[in-house]
Each structure stands twice: as C-alpha cells, then as structure tokens.
Structure 1
Amino acid sequence: MMQQFYPAVPHEFRFELNKDLNFSAAHFIPSEDAGQCKEMHGHTYFVNVTVGGDELDAIGFLIDFKSIKKAIHKKYDHSVLNNHPEFENKFPTTELLAQQIWQSIQDILQATANKPTCLQVIVRETPTSYVVYRPRKEDLL
C-alpha cells in the first residue's frame, strides 16, 4: 500500500491515531446537475480517520484500530450507498459520506470510557479527488 500523507488537523490532545481503510461501493447522484454521476457507478473509496484524545483505555489504546475498520468496512463495503438509511433524503456525495463516517466513528468513541474525539475524516473517491470533513466544536457536544 502506498503511504499517504493527509492534511493535519490542529489539536492539543496528547495522542493522535490515524486509520487508513478502503471499501468498494456503488452510488448515483439522481440529479441532472451531476452529469455522468447521475448513472450508477462504483468506486474503491480510501478513507483516513483521525482520532485524538488525552486518555487511553484500560489496555493502552486510544481506540482499537479494528473497531474503526469494522464500523465502516462492514457497513459500506460492496453496497449501494443510496440504499443506506442515512442517505434516504440526501444524495450520497463524497462530502456527505465523509460526514456520515465521522458520525459513525464519533458515536462509537463517545460510548467508550476514555471518550476520544474523531477530529477528521478524509474520503478519497478517485486517485485525484478527496474530501476532508472536520466537525465544528458544536458538533462535538
């Protein structure tokens, strides 16, 4: 796997964890404004999740890497994004996919005792195009 470097998110946490993963999924954007993307097509999405926190769990993890992969890969791999309930009234654009991945990860993190924070999600749709999602402070409350 080629090593990727992504934009860093400024923070003051002691620990920062980054997890890269990928999944294959199809989608379509049902709007004339979407051009060719209005037709069903697929991507191998590459995702980077950045988690920050000051406290580790009982075994010394900020969060187990496997739990991040499981939450995203199991949910989206080999699926049609349009069929997921979170896209019921929205088009599954890369921007909204990044936001939904952030929400899924943040929900998992907030259920842990050490409560780390998902600082950033990057979703690469093609080799030349990616989206960065960073929550606002009010999203973290």
Structure 2
Amino acid sequence: MPTVRVTRRAHFCSAHRIYRDDWSQEENREVFGDCSNPNWHGHNYILDVTVEGPVDPETGYVADLKVIKQVVKERVVDDVDHRNLNLEVPWLEGTIVSTENFAVAIWERIGGSLPSTVRLHRVFLQETPNNSVEYLGPEGD
C-alpha cells in the first residue's frame, strides 16, 4: 500500500512579542528589532499540518481531513486565535514566542492527538508572506 501525505490548512490571527525578561529593552531591540515592541504586534498566520500514512482501500483516504481539521482546531486554533501568545496561551508560557518555537509547540500539541493510522510529518507555519518555518519533528532534527 502506498504511503501518501495529506495537508490541512488553518488560518488564525495572534499577537505576540519576542523578548527576554533578563535582557534590557535595548538588548531586546538590538537582537529582535521591531518584534520586541513592548506594545506587542500581530500576524495573520497560516498553519499547514501534513500527515502521512497508507491509503485506506475502503475509503481511498489517508485520513479523514475533517478529523485532522478538528484536531488542529481544538488543540491549536481555539487556543491562539485572536489571543496574545505571550499572555493567554498556557502551553507557550515561559517560551520565547518566535515562529520557530511556536511551530515546535504546535507539533507537540497535535502529535499525540491524531488518528493512529497516520504520522505527523510536517508543521509549516507562515507568519508573514515572506517569513515561514517548517518543522519536521524531533526525527527531522
């Protein structure tokens, strides 16, 4: 049976600030630039979650995309949409909320919640039209 990858896309809007509490505002500004703005800033994110597995001969599906959509919604989007990532998302607490760290945290949130017939292959997180991150999980490191 062939292994096929399928991707589900989600959209959400969130605010955040990239900074370190143990650095001065000047140090944060020097390293993180405008992203360290103490008044926050926001993005319209695009999240692609790709799973892989065998094609079910009965359905022709690798996974029911409605199920993948629901997992992504319940485990990620419901928590982060129109929220401040630094202040309102417990599973990001204590994290420098860069796009890189955010993508890893999303992987950790959804990896164990997917149907047993699929494996999480990729989390792709686009922060702006020009900036995105792809995480292939700990095995892809």
TM-score range, shorter chain: 0.7 to 0.9
Indicate which of 96, 102, 105 corresponds to 2:110. 105
Describe the shift of the 1:93–1:13 C-alpha distance in structure 2 as closer, same or farther (beyond 3 A).
Answer: farther
Q: CA deviation at 1:95?
A: 0.4
Contact 1:19–1:68 (CA under 8 A) maintained in structure 2: no
User: Does 2:8 align with 1:19?
Assistant: yes
Instruction: Report sequence identity in percent.
Output: 29
For these two proteins, the number of residue pairs brought into alignment is 124
- Could you tell me which runs of 5 or more consecutive residues in structure 1 were left unpaired when the two chains were aligned: 1-11
**Aligned-pair RMSD on alpha carbons?**
2.5
Deviations 1:86-140 (A, max 9, x none): 222211110011111111121211xx343x111111111111111111113399x
**1:29: Cα distance to partner?**
1.0
Larger Rg: 2
Structure 1 runs, 4 residues or longer, greater than 4 Å off: 58-61
The 1-side partners of 2:105 and 2:2 are apart by 23
Equivalent-residue separation in structure 1 for 2:34 and 2:140 (angstroms): 36
TM-score if structure 2 supplies the norm length? 0.76
Partner of residue 95 from structure 1, selected from 82, 97, 100: 100
The residue that corresponds to 1:124 in the other structure is 126
Structure 2 counterpart SS, 1:121: strand
1:72 match: 76
1:54 match: 54
Q: Which structure: greater helix fraction? A: 2
